[in-house]
Amino acid sequence: MGIEIERKFLVAGEGWRAAAEGAPVPIRQGYLATPGAAGATVRIRRAGAEAFLTVKGPGGLVRAEFEYPIPPGDAEAMLALCTTPPLAKARWSVPHQGHVWTIDVFESPASLAGLVLAEIELPAADIDPPLPPWLGAEVTGDPGYANAALISRGIPR
């Protein structure tokens, strides 16, 4: 079974930009299923020239995740089936003390424009990586900051 172990934080300021590597990857993603009784989501993502179908289970730090590459044309057709417009974001990679952080700068819908989140995927739940100074509050356990929730409800207040 696929497992995702991930911590998520708000980003405070622009300090991460100086350490960002390469150009950002443009991402568009939409949801064919959002958390229901079982808490699962089914996501379609275009990341640059690549495309993926992802099924995620419920959870915070640790949850089931199954991700499969799909043809980009299929992804575009599936994105058109989503009940809410896809979100768009630019994804940056930022190394910090032996770990690589993912920074997502949300662009659309308008209700998410300007939101910046940092994530780190970990090989085990008991790993406590050094936190960069540009991190804000941790939102790992806040379901309102899941992308599926953001696209349907906007930024938690």
d(CA 35, CA 97): 35
d(CA 105, CA 109): 12
Give the domain ranges of the chain.
3-153
Task: Map residue 62 onto helix, strand or coil.
Answer: strand
pTM, two decimals, is 0.93
> Along the 157 residues of the chain, how does pLDDT read in single tens digits?
688 999 999 999 999 999 999 999 999 999 998 766 567 889 999 999 999 999 998 877 888 999 999 999 999 999 999 988 999 999 999 999 999 999 999 999 999 999 999 999 999 999 999 999 999 999 998 989 999 889 888 888 7
Asked if 102 and 119 touch (Cβ cutoff 8 Å), the reply is yes
Tell me: the pLDDT tens digits for 59-70?
778 889 999 999
pLDDT at 37: 57
Interacting residues of 20 by C-beta distance below 8 A, sequence separation 6+: 92, 93, 94, 103
| Catalytically annotated residues | 31
149: nearest Cα among 116, 104, 111: 111
Which fold does the domain 3-153 belong to in CATH? Hypothetical Protein Pfu-838710-001 (2.40.320)
Interacting residues of 30 by C-beta distance below 8 A, sequence separation 6+: 43, 44, 78, 79, 82, 84, 85, 86, 87, 151
